[in-house]
Amino acid sequence: MNSMIAGWPNKLHEYLPMLEGWILPKTGDPTHIRGDIFWNGSGVRLDKAVNTIYGGQLKWMTSRYGGVTWIDDEVLLGMTGLRYVVLESVGINPSTKSVHEHRIWLFDGDSQRVYSSRTDPHQFRQAVNEITADGHPIVAAEFLALHSASADQIVREYTQ
């Protein structure tokens, strides 16, 4: 919620959580890691979810100053079909552009699950379906752009 309010519409990349890195072993091929918030194409409308959880600027500000907005934000993510995901491309061969294995890490509260394209392709495909909208990856910034009218309304209401 704070990322949306602080970054909407042109600075989301500065506020939304995102992780990217490389593992470059002395021997063997590199691994690329990217973490983001993905939308699965389902869930409650953004404005409805925000109003259900926060009910207005006062409750949000109280949670914010109390340092507990992350609790409500987790609920907001779940209600809108958004979730934290890490994508891992293991063993990238730079000369052939091939990847030895893809992994999807899904996070739910304190637990995480990992799905491998190499060791269990069927469950990996199910995880892809779980984090994408009809097979198309949509990250949080794209989700907000798709719901720009709701984002505009929320930012106006919560920054007055």
Written as tens digits, the pLDDT of the chain (160 aa) is: 999 999 999 999 999 999 999 999 998 889 999 999 999 999 999 999 999 999 999 999 999 999 999 999 999 999 999 999 999 999 988 778 789 999 999 988 788 999 999 999 999 999 999 999 988 999 999 999 999 999 999 999 999 8
3-state secondary structure of 86: strand
The angle subtended at Cα 44 by Cα 109 and Cα 130, nearest 5°, is 55
Q: What CA–CA distance (Å, rounded) separates 98 from 129?
A: 22
pTM of whole model > 0.85?
yes
Nearest to 16 by CA among 160, 145, 150: 145
Phi and psi at 103, nearest 5°, equal: -130, 145
